[in-house]
Amino acid sequence: MESNHKALEEQALESLDSMSSVPTLKGPIGFVIGLIDRVFITLAVLTLVAIAFTVLLQVCSRLFLPFSISWTEELSRYLFIYMVAFSAGVVLRRHRNVSVELFHHLLGPRGKGAFQALICLCIGVFAVMVLPYAWAYAQNGAWQTSPTLRVPMLYIFFSTVVTFGLLSLYSVLGCLEGLLAVVKPNASPTQES
DSSP-assigned states of every residue in 125-173: HHHHHHHHHHHHHHHHGGG-B-TTT--BHHHHHHHHHHHHHHHHHHHHH
Does residue 189 form part of some domain?
no
Q: Is residue 80 part of a domain?
A: yes
**Domain membership flag for residue 190:** no
- Render pLDDT for 74-106 as a digit per residue (tens, 0 to 9): 999 999 999 999 999 999 988 878 777 777 778
For residue 7, is it within any domain?
yes
Q: What is the mean pLDDT of the chain?
A: 87
pTM of the model: 0.82
Say which residues have a Cβ less than 8 Å from residue 192's Cβ, sequence separation at least 6.
25, 27, 29, 176
Backbone angles phi, psi at 110, to 5 degrees: -70, -40
In-domain check, residue 173? yes
**Is 191 within the bounds of a domain?**
no
Instruction: Give the model's confidence band at 191: pLDDT under 50 very low, under 70 low, under 90 confident, else very high.
Output: very low
CA angle 145, 147, 153 (to 5 degrees): 30
Kindly tell me the burial class for residue 181, based on how many C-beta atoms sit within 10 Å of its own C-beta (0-12, 13-18, 19 or more): buried
What domain range includes position 25?
A: 2-183
Q: From the CA atom positions of the chain, what is the Rg in Å?
A: 21
Residue 78 is assigned to a structural domain of this protein: yes
Percent composition of the chain: helix, strand, coil (DSSP 3-state, to 5): 75, 0, 20
Establish if 188 belongs to a structural domain.
no
SS3 60: helix
Domains in the chain: how many in total?
A: 1
pLDDT tens profile 103-149: 777 888 888 889 999 999 999 999 999 999 999 999 998 889 999 99
